[in-house]
Amino acid sequence: MKWLGFLLALPLLAADYKAGFGRMDITPAQPIYLSGYAARKKPSEGVLQKIWAKALAIEDNKGNRVVIVTTDLIGLPRHVSDQIGAEVEKRYRLRRNQLLLNSSHTHSAPVVHGNLTSMFDLTPGQKRAITDYTQTLAKQIADVVGSALGNMQTARLDIGHGTGSFAVNRRVLTPTGVKGGVNPAGPVDQDVPVVRVAGANGQLLGVLFGYACHNTTMGGDFFQVNGDYAGFAQASFEAAHPNSTAMFLMLCGADANPNPRGTVALVEQHGASLAKEVTRVLAGKLEPVSGQLRSAFHTAELAFVPHTRETFETESKDSNWYKQQRASAMLAAYDRRAPVRSIPYPVQGIRLGKSLTLVALGGEVVVDYNLRLKKEFPGENLIVAGYSNDVMCYIPSLRVLKEGGYEANDSMIYYGQPGPFTEDVEDRVMQMVYKVMDRLGRKR
């Protein structure tokens, strides 16, 4: 592999940016409930792999800055993201549109307070552990932003694309409705975008790479903390490239699962295969990234299908405990004279000249959005991330909404949302994407 080291250390002809990485261990010190699977009835039991918050700070030659943060977590709810954003603005004078918060959605990391908390029947002590972890987490993420900003140096960015191998659509259409399973004919996006960050001497500083697939190789019967395939991919790359930082960006993988899945060996296998693909991309032809850095952040309003108090009074009598929990929350909102009719939905964009555009969408976004955006913006070198800035529920396309199933309906119960969305959900998201892209000066 000496030739690869030579390629990764080639001298640079020009550097339009400064860039810096930061990282912080966010592994829980004590047993804590792991998120993502309602089947779990007890806290974690040890650590298979440490989990991390990492940051990449970028500044152009006019002083425009952004920081991209990735976390080995199920997702950050809006109240936590807002807290982090306020602290980052106070400390580092970064506005909210300059800070992107993305989560890998691993189902083997701690519950974050306010995200899927109602999925579990917790004791007061278990609730306190989650609250304490979340408060510490918010401070740690603000700290890692500062670390990345403090490590900035002259840098060059390049981008390439690879192809993943293990994501498969999980929505199986049957005569009785949509079921969870393996649907090889269903839509997926196997694209693996890779952003290379190198120092002034050509030495690799780190990579930012993404994939559109749920981090659910391990099931609800596994209780050790880890980052699932995304965590192992980052660790595998860093082991092969010492002194570099690997950051995983979760794309629109809400309706895709790893295949096969279910064992630690498979987690390691998927992680290693993804890291190998990232390395292969780096050894090939990359496109240089150059130009002014722009960022934008806007919020849409996504409406739920109309409901009444009686809807949830009936649901409160259901034998399903999770429905009872959802009904209790909705009735409490009615008592406050503030029934949940819609949710604010964040759409963020970061554009580096005409070389690279990153669109970050909130929630668990199905692959249809990724595929549609690439089709409607063919002139852009586009990365479309989900799970960014707020993970409040699944975000179905109109197709998925009409088909029904977990992503459109049942998941809303665990997220404590009244759901489903109205049929204009995709239109509302896309309208805001276009607004953000216009602000970024998209190609026409």
pLDDT value at 63 more than 60 = yes
Task: State the Cα–Cα distance between residues 194 and 207, nearest whole angstrom.
Answer: 7
Q: Note the pLDDT tens digit of each residue in 132-155.
A: 999 999 999 999 999 999 999 999
pLDDT (tens digit per residue) in 185-206? 999 999 999 999 999 999 999 9
pLDDT reading at 14 higher than 70: no
Share of residues in the chain with pLDDT > 90 (%): 95
- Indicate if the pLDDT at residue 230 is higher than 60: yes
Can you give the residue ranges of every domain in the chain? 2-293+346-394, 307-335
Number of residues that make up the chain: 444
> Quick one: pLDDT at residue 444?
64
Helix, strand or coil for residue 80? helix
What rounded mean pLDDT belongs to the chain? 95
Note whether 56 and 19 are within 8 A (CB). yes
Can you tell me the mean pLDDT for 270-291?
98
Is residue 12 predicted with pLDDT exceeding 60? no
Residue 2 has a pLDDT of 38
pLDDT at 13 over 50: no
Give the whole-angstrom CA distance, residue 253 versus residue 73. Answer: 15
Mean pLDDT over 70-86 rounds to 98
If you average pLDDT over residues 90-116, what whole number do you get?
97
For β-strands 153-163 and 287-289, DSSP reports them as antiparallel
- Can you give the pLDDT at residue 15? 65
Owner of token pair 């969408």: 361
441 — alpha (psi -120 to 50), left (phi > 0) or beta? left
Whether the pLDDT of residue 71 is over 90: the answer is: yes
* pTM, two decimal places: 0.95
Q: Using CA atoms, how far apart are residues 368 and 180, in angstroms rounded to an integer?
A: 17
Give the rounded distance of the alpha carbon of 16 from its chain centre: 27
DSSP 118-150: GGS---HHHHHHHHHHHHHHHHHHHHHHHHHHH
Q: pLDDT at residue 8 above 60?
A: no
Average pLDDT over residues 416-441: 97
pLDDT at 117: 82
- The DSSP string of 301-359 is EEEBPP--HHHHHHHTTSS-HHHHHHHHHHHHHHHTT----EEEEEEEEEEETTTEEEE
299 CB-near residues (< 8 Å, 6+ apart)? 344, 345, 346, 347, 432
> Residue 128: how many CB atoms within 10 A of its CB?
11
Which pLDDT belongs to residue 10? 43
Q: Per DSSP, what are the bridge partners of residue 18?
A: 59, 154
